[in-house]
Amino acid sequence: MNRLEADVFPVIGHLSIDAVQTGHIRDIMLTIETRGASDVAKRAHQSIGQIFRFAIARELASRNPAADFKPRDVLAATESENFARVDEKDLPELLAKMDDYNGDALTRFGLKLLAYCFPRTSELIEAPWTEFDFDRARWEIPPERMKMKTPHIVPLSRQAVEVLRALRLLTGNGKLVFPGAKDKKRPMSNNTLLYALYRLGYEGRMTGHGFRGLASTILNENDFDDEHVDLQLAHMKRNKVSAAYNHAKYLKQRTEMMQWWADYLDTQLAKGRRALAA
């Protein structure tokens, strides 16, 4: 509903249902795309189509203008990133297996932070301790380490802070949170966390990046605001002028969202542990 109220209703909410044309839907999608939120534009097309199908089935509308085109017909092509990820129904078992991981402790903690914070893997494993503020429960990543080359703030849930405090006992005397096994001045290999997932039985089924896709889908399905989700994923393309402001935009709402996400994961973990014990 939040997506409809923010992006759809202002454009077509005042129109009778049969007055809505294909061009209205196209314009809604293109406006959303300008925010760098192509996925949200696609979901808007899907939601509008569902509404019209519902109306047609009840003889409240005569046609579905969203059916006249596919999102790829109007949205700019984006570089394809095919990162394997499990379905939401498989998340409890994955989290339980991660929690029982009997390999290196740094790897186990790294998997936990990928889940709780859903950063890109390189952003996590290359992080120095100086980026973490325990008092404010924030992880502040400078622009030179971000894909979009703009600063980024990750509000830290209570669970993420707990993991980081445990990590600090292991690596807090060095510069890096996740130093390499042989050279402590360099970060651990980019494949370390991926191969840990492989050892848990998830080769071809889950990647570190998969947690980002899961978070995006589940948070949106639970009515968190699209812009808050996209900002937290650092998906939104920002110019240099707006970057300094936008990286802290909606920080209160994003903080609440990240705590909800960590609590949700803990609930799923508990389900997974019960299932494995059965």
Q: What is the pLDDT of residues 34-92, one digit of tens each?
A: 877 777 888 899 899 999 999 999 999 999 999 999 888 898 865 444 578 999 999 99
Identity of the residue numbered 227: E
Average confidence (pLDDT) over 18-23: 95
The string of pLDDT tens digits covering residues 245-265 is 567 789 999 999 999 999 999
Closest to 88 in 3D by CA, of 278, 277, 272: 272
User: How high is the pLDDT of residue 241?
Assistant: 42
97, 112, 152, 235: which one is catalytic? 235
Left (φ > 0), alpha (ψ -120 to 50) or beta: where does 207 sit?
Answer: beta
Separation CA 180–CA 96 (nearest Å): 26
User: How high is the pLDDT of residue 278?
Assistant: 82
14, 89, 182, 245: which one is catalytic? 245
To which H or E segment does residue 38 belong? Answer: helix 38-57
Q: Is 235 a catalytic residue?
A: yes
Coil/strand/helix, residue 101: coil
User: How high is the pLDDT of residue 82?
Assistant: 54
User: How high is the pLDDT of residue 239?
Assistant: 46
In this structure, what token pair is assigned to residue 268? 């799923």
Mutual angle of helices 38-57 and 22-33, in 10-degree steps: 150
Tell me the average pLDDT of the chain.
90
Other Cβ atoms closer than 10 A to 3 = 18
Q: Is 120 a catalytic residue?
A: yes
The model's pTM is 0.74
Separation CA 275–CA 149 (nearest Å): 42
Separation CA 99–CA 97 (nearest Å): 5
Q: Is 14 a catalytic residue?
A: no
Q: Cβ(119)–Cβ(148) under 8 Å? A: no
Q: Which residues of 229-253 are buried (b: 16+ CB within 10 A; e: fewer)?
A: bbbbbbbbebeeeebeebbeeeeeb
147, 158, 186, 237: which one is catalytic? 147
Q: Which domains does the chain have, with CATH numbers?
A: 2-74 (1.10.150.130), 88-277 (1.10.443.10)
What percentage of the chain reaches a pLDDT higher than 70?
94
212, 228, 247, 254: which one is catalytic? 212
**Alpha helices (H) along 131-209:** 158-171, 192-197
Q: Is 245 a catalytic residue?
A: yes
Confidence of residue 131 (pLDDT cuts 50, 70, 90): very high
Q: Which residues contact 184 (CB under 8 A, 6 or more apart)?
A: 174, 176
26, 120, 238, 247: which one is catalytic? 120
